[in-house]
Structure 1
Amino acid sequence: MGRIFEVRKSKMFARYDKMAKGFTRIGKEIAIAVKKGGASPETNPALRRCMQNAKAINMPKDRVEAAIKNALGKDTSSYEEVLYEGYAPHGIAILVETATDNTTRTVANVRSLFNKTGGTLGNSGSVAFTFRHLGMFKLNPEGLSTDELELELIDAGLDELGEDSDGNLIIRCEFADFGNMQKALEEKGITPISSETEWLPSNTVEVTDEQAEDVFKLIERVEQDDDVQRVFHNMA
């Protein structure tokens, strides 16, 4: 009985950590959006997107409002978005998105985490060219015709329209068309469940289960760093 309790408690803390990390990530994205485009979601598309994503992960409304208010403060940190590139064990390419107010601290931490888990941090441009930088929108399929939607969004830069494992519609476009796609969906009265940019590998690498464990160990350690937003890889 004690063992079952410990396992349940461990899973509960893991879910809490994931939720807390998600709230922190969205909070930083809100701060960046407000600094760049102001605190009004009506005139700031990036902030509207952040608020949609906050709702998707059940981030409390008061935390969203607090993040916006804090971003307006004169003494708050100005976050810089920095992409780090490198390799995990077994030649797996890794991209690390960060939002930091101290790049010296962040690069030192990320490099240390790579080194401790058998990876190597590379130079800018050493890995990113093997990925595609895309925009991704998740939509509730209710009331939508995929055939009509596909035709109507081609001019906005539609690259791919499909479904995820939960039956949600997934729209992808090139990163350069991200704003155009957001605008096109808004003009059609469609509010995405969530929308974000992502890095998809042009080619994937097959690994064994044991090798995958090594790679996931690095990813998990890197994701725990406070400055890290998301981590992408090319493992199949």
Structure 2
Amino acid sequence: MASTSLEERERRGRANLPLELVLVRHAEPDWDWARDTSGDPPLTALGRRQAADVAAHLTTMPLNALYCSPLARARETAAIIGAAQQLDATVVAGLAEIRVPMLSSASQAEVDAYFAAAARRSLREHWDGFPGGEPFREFHARVTAAFESVLAHYNVRPQHADEFAVWHSPARAQTLRVGVVAHGGTNGVLLTHMLGIASVPWEWIRFETPLAAYSVIGLRAINDQGYVWSLQQFGRRADDRESDS
């Protein structure tokens, strides 16, 4: 009998995971600070096309549930994905992007200057969040607490074994696949937290993804003491040509 190839053995290891998360960044929003003072813009026409493209692409990865941020750009993206999956998205308030001050009636040049000045601060000052906005540690705690509440619905929760952070999950005959539509910052925090990486106050740079891109992480058993999250795909777009295997 021919021996099983390494590639086939690795593929089997990735099969039948108890839970898989598909983290999607929203499509292009219609940012116009001088015109829209809500700080919560909808998608542009291009953004709606981007959302439709990723929605069509994700039909090859059927979702069992779909969650999203309460902000319009994420809700609209999630609605388009949900329609393709015949799912309604559940809004989770804690998945909103890190809060920044309202820059109402500011010109684009003034907005750019604000973010440029924020970037010039010392590294430690980045823990404060954007000037006048939500501190990063509060943002991180908000997002992780909100999503752990979501995972608790599926009896998935963090635990510790020896000095390691692992996760509890029931075994499942088929993979449960959950979609999350949120933001660059939110998804960066989730990847950091799930993968057990030390936090930094620029998660959206460390795990930078394009608009309407998705990443996939799955729970894999270490042994009978628990599971860890494994990064399966990162920053994929609907027009990427690489194999999904």
> What is the TM-score with the length of structure 2 in the denominator?
0.27
> What is the TM-score with the length of structure 1 in the denominator?
0.28
Structure having the higher helix fraction is 1
